[in-house]
A and B are shown apart, each in its own frame.
Chain A
């Protein structure tokens, strides 16, 4: 594309837009770029009393401390593991749910199911964890069902064993978010040209064939964009659910980077260490997005930038 020179006439024509743009730029600078100065804390022996301007500069000490801490490495592992599991499971379930819902012929039934399924999205995690705690307790419904079906002899204490923790978190995420995430795919499916389905029918395609050859390719751009955006969110594997469901017995698998930041940065008052851990998280997230975007570009798929 050839660059066109920008004249005063253009300025006059677009003055309203320019004023809006200026306002947005000022907003962005104040609320997004200035706070970045807080990152300086990670390179200082930061004390609240001396503040960001008079604390001692210590270079990368905090980062070295961070990566020589076995707990932090474990915390990264937990965050990545839970992030990837949650992403894979919720992503898959949302698409599956949207497609299945789309196949429901009864309009009323579809509406009811859709509404009910996205309601859990509006519950706060404290309520969801409360329900989970009750349902999975020794006398809770899950154990009662399992015992009555003779699957197990004794109630299982789900929160006392490390191997159950990640699946519980994944399940909770699926239950809470599937309905909500499916909305966007449903919208994408509605946007598919009905004539494509008609054409497929004429060609003798059955339901399964139509899903495979019309619906899925139709929502592929949406899937790619959402996948890319979610990959950047992998390290936001969660804070509340792990914080609220965790206990001493499962601490090895339950702590995430966010909990680590809270514990060391806020509780122990080591703001520098907390900031360093936060920077690490942001940088990894950015790298993940850039890499995935690059891969998508290479394969000629839809991409973010």
Chain B
């Protein structure tokens, strides 16, 4: 008996270390169900919400295309963990977007090269120019994935600023008489003044002046502001000087020191939320949803569809708890590039088809059909008459009731199906009038805004979020560099440096902000930072920058 206990125990500990990597089995790949509809599976390595099995629009799309895709999303893991587990198991869904784990999927031989197929599908072919398709080629010369987002058809129609910014609640701006805020100092002065005069909300809940999300990969809310403050766009991991075409490390610039010093001062004053560095993403969203937080840095997509919607449905928009972006730079009079016009081709990930898929042509046909105008309208506008109406001039619009139901979670699950991680257009519809997506329809967008946002926009003389910031064209053919850094792996010195830099920043940046003696804290941080050999990372980025510029020159 004793022996048995021991052997079971030993074996259990051994098993806990096993990662078995053998045995490839086929995925469900285009099985045809009873109604003659082909069913595919898809996994997207991002968090998302699943729709109901009897979703209405999904059914309509299935009738038109003959296909249906069961989508699953990331839950409680990172993208790399999920992808690593899939690779170890050797079984894949038909469609996959591995996010930051895409390169791992490619290296594991899990993806089907698409270049031989693309020409057969006009809508897919049309999706990118020849140059863009070439940019997607991996080291073996094949194309494996199709980036889904930020691709503009016809004229660009941007109303929301989908990216990063310093956000502030409209009530703060209204209280101060809608001042022009251009620098970090002005921004924090405004927040301090407001907080002093209004320590609580209307119902007595205490306001939180400024919070910083620092959870895992979302720590960009703390980390990458120095590049924007210096007037550079979101190259993400580095600054690129457009004149000299050199890569600059934004972690060590004077602006970075000033930015973190400011945060340190505000932390000591009690303006920065003391829970900033220990809160999880969910806690952060819950906090924002109560309307207590006056301002923060974040990406619009990171809070808009959760916290901002919650604020709206709780009626807190009347109290001015919704957020607008501010054009902030480190000094007065600089051009900011928080918002860039034009599409962004994120070559580092996209929709791919796996080797487990047994009907590659059927799968691609479905992608092709999703890009057709009629199905595209179903995905992003909904059903005519139910979700939108068509005016005499051919323009789509919504009633208030339709807008409300469009942001209702239960309705979204039972009715809406945008296949949101399949390729999609923004910009102008093929009819030349409407926007490809409802959030790009200017009149509809403005009419759908709450009164407090409208009032704020009117005071600044703007109509959209984008106009709050102003816009600049994308800086050059290399943009954005983060598509390279996010596909780096630890197999190169630069990639290893990049991983270590991330760890050190995760650990030390909060310490720097909370330090009693900022200068000492900063020196300690810089010492640890330099031990990661950031120069290895920078030099690989420089090589990639030069490669991209040279590559682009071929097409001029």
Cα–Cα distance between A286 and B275 once the two chains are bound (Å) = 42
Q: In the complex, which residues of chain A have a beta carbon less than 8 angstroms from the beta carbon of B80?
A: 266-269
- Contact between B19 and A271, CB atoms less than 8 A apart: yes
The verdict on B530 contacting chain A, using a C-beta distance below 8 Å, is no
Closest CB in chain B relative to A39 CB, distance in Å: 8
CA distance A279 to B15 in the complex (A): 10
Instruction: Report the stretch among A2-10, A103-111, A192-200, A244-252 that lies at the interface.
Output: A244-252
Task: Find the residue from B17, B101, B108, B509 having the highest chain A CB count within 10 A.
Answer: B17
Contact A278 B16 (CB under 8 A): yes
**Contacts of A261 on B, CB cut-off 8 Å?**
17
In the complex with contacts A248-B214, A251-B506, A269-B84, A49-B277 CB distance below 8 A: no
Name the interface residues of A35-56: CB closer than 8 Å to any CB of B.
35-36, 38-39, 41, 46-49, 51-52
Interface string of B263-291 (1 = CB under 8 A from A): 00000000000110110100100000000
Within 8 Å CB of A46, what residues of B? 21
Residue in A closest to B514 when the chains form the complex, CB atoms: A160
Chain A positions 246 through 277: 1 when the CB is less than 8 Å from some CB of chain B, otherwise 0: 01110110000000011001111111001101
| Residue A232 at the chain B interface, CB threshold 8 Å | yes
**A98 at interface by CB-CB < 8 Å:** no
A32:B14 contact, CB within 8 angstroms: yes
Complex: how many Å from CA A35 to CA B23? 13
CA distance A201 to B78 in the complex (A): 62
**Interface assignment of A305: CB less than 8 Å from any CB of chain B:** yes
Query: Are B10 and A286 touching (Cβ within 8 A)?
Result: yes
Chain A residue numbers with a CB within 8 Å of B88 are: 48, 266, 271
Residues of A within 8 A of B14 (CB): 32, 35-36, 282
| Complex contacts, A229 vs chain B, CB 8 Å | 5, 9
Is B553 interfacial (CB 8 A cutoff)?
no
Do residues A49 and B507 form an inter-chain contact, with CB atoms below 8 A?
no
A185 contacts the other chain (CB 8 A): no
Task: Give the most central of B5, B18, B76, B507: most A CB within 10 Å.
Answer: B18
A289 on interface, CB distance cutoff 8 Å? yes
A236 in contact (CB, < 8 A): yes
Is the contact region of chain B dominated by helix, strand, or loop, or is it mixed?
Answer: helix
User: Please, which residues of chain B bring their CB within 8 A of the CB of A269?
Assistant: 80, 84, 87, 101, 104, 107, 489
B interface residue count range (under 10 / 10 to 19 / 20 to 34 / 35 or more): 35 or more
Contact of B219 among A138, A160, A248 (CB under 8 A): A248
> What residues of chain B lie closer than 8 Å to A274, measured between beta carbons?
19
A137, CB-defined interface residue at 8 Å: yes
Once bound together, how far apart are the Cα atoms of A249 and B20, in whole Å? 34
B84 in contact with A236 (CB, 8 Å) = no
Known: A48-B109, A51-B21, A52-B22. A248 touches B506 (CB 8 A): yes
Q: Is the Cβ of B107 less than 8 Å from the Cβ of A275?
A: no
A294 cross-chain contacts in B, Cβ below 8 A: none
A49 touches B511 (CB 8 A): no
- Considering only CB atoms, which chain B residue lies closest to A286 in the complex? B10
Contact in complex: B489, A279 (CB < 8 Å): no
Write the nearest CB–CB distance from B409 to chain A, whole angstroms: 21
Measured in the bound complex, the distance between the Cα atoms of B15 and A32 in whole Å is 7
Q: In B338-356, which residues have CB < 8 Å from any A CB?
A: none
Q: In the complex, how many angstroms separate the beta carbon of B110 from the nearest chain A beta carbon?
A: 8
A232 to B521, CA, bound (A): 41
Give Cα A9 to B114, complex, Å: 68
Asked if B499 is at the interface (CB within 8 A of a chain A CB), the reply is yes
Instruction: Kindly identify which residue among B13, B22, B81, B275 contacts A137, using a CB–CB cutoff of 8 Å.
Output: B275
> How many interface contacts (CB-CB < 8 Å) are there between A and B?
136
Q: Contacts A157-B275, A271-B19 known; A266 to B13 CB distance under 8 Å?
A: no
A281, CB-defined interface residue at 8 Å: yes
Interface: A23 (CB within 8 A): no
Whether A247 pairs with B277 at a CB distance below 8 angstroms is: yes
CB-based contact A251/B503 at 8 Å: yes
Q: How far is the CA of A281 from the CA of B15 in the complex (A)?
A: 11
- Least CB distance from B297 to A in Å reads 17
**CB closest residue in chain B, given A266:** B84
Contact B13 A248, beta carbon cutoff 8 Å: no
The answer to the question of A159 belonging to the interface, with a C-beta cut-off of 8 Å to chain B, is yes
B354 to chain A, nearest CB (A): 13
User: In the complex the two chains form, what is the Cα distance from A271 to B104 in whole Å?
Assistant: 12
A299 to chain B, nearest CB (A): 17
**Taking the complex as formed, is A114 at the interface, i.e. its CB lies under 8 A from any CB of chain B?**
no
- Shortest Cβ distance from A258 into B: residue: B16
Closest chain-B Cβ to A296's Cβ sits at a distance in Å of 12
Q: Does A117 contact B (CB under 8 A)?
A: no
* A278 with B278, Cβ < 8 A, contacts A52-B22, A269-B489, A289-B9 known: no
How many angstroms from the CA of A305 to the CA of B214 in the assembled complex?
A: 50
Residues 131-171 of A at the B interface (beta carbon under 8 Å): 133, 137-138, 155, 157, 159-160
Residues in A with CB closer than 8 Å to B214 are 247-248
Kindly state whether residue A285 has any CB partner on chain B within 8 Å.
yes
Residues of A within 8 A of B499 (CB): 268
CA separation between A249 and B215, bound complex, in Å?
A: 11
**Chain B residues whose C-beta falls within 8 Å of the C-beta of A252 in the assembled complex:** 507
Set of chain A residues within 8 Å of B85, measured between Cβ atoms: 266
Task: Give B201 Cβ to nearest chain A Cβ, in Å.
Answer: 15
Give the residue of A32, A262, A270, A289 whose beta carbon is less than 8 angstroms from that of B11: A32
Q: What residues of chain A lie closer than 8 Å to B527, measured between beta carbons?
A: none
- 12 A-B pairs besides A35-B15, A281-B13, A304-B5 with CB distance below 8 A are A48-B109, A48-B110, A126-B76, A155-B274, A157-B275, A229-B9, A247-B215, A269-B84, A279-B17, A282-B13, A286-B10, A305-B3
7 tightest Cβ-Cβ pairs between the two chains A and B: A278-B17, A266-B84, A248-B506, A267-B80, A48-B108, A159-B278, A49-B109
Q: List 20 A-B contacts (CB under 8 A).
A: A35-B20, A46-B21, A47-B107, A48-B109, A51-B22, A160-B277, A160-B514, A229-B5, A229-B9, A249-B507, A261-B17, A266-B19, A266-B85, A267-B80, A267-B81, A269-B84, A278-B18, A282-B13, A282-B14, A303-B2
Q: Residues of B with Cβ closer than 8 Å to A?
A: 2-3, 5-6, 9-11, 13-22, 76, 78, 80-81, 84-85, 87-88, 90, 101, 104, 107-110, 214-215, 219, 274-275, 277-278, 280, 283, 489-490, 499, 503, 506-507, 509-511, 514
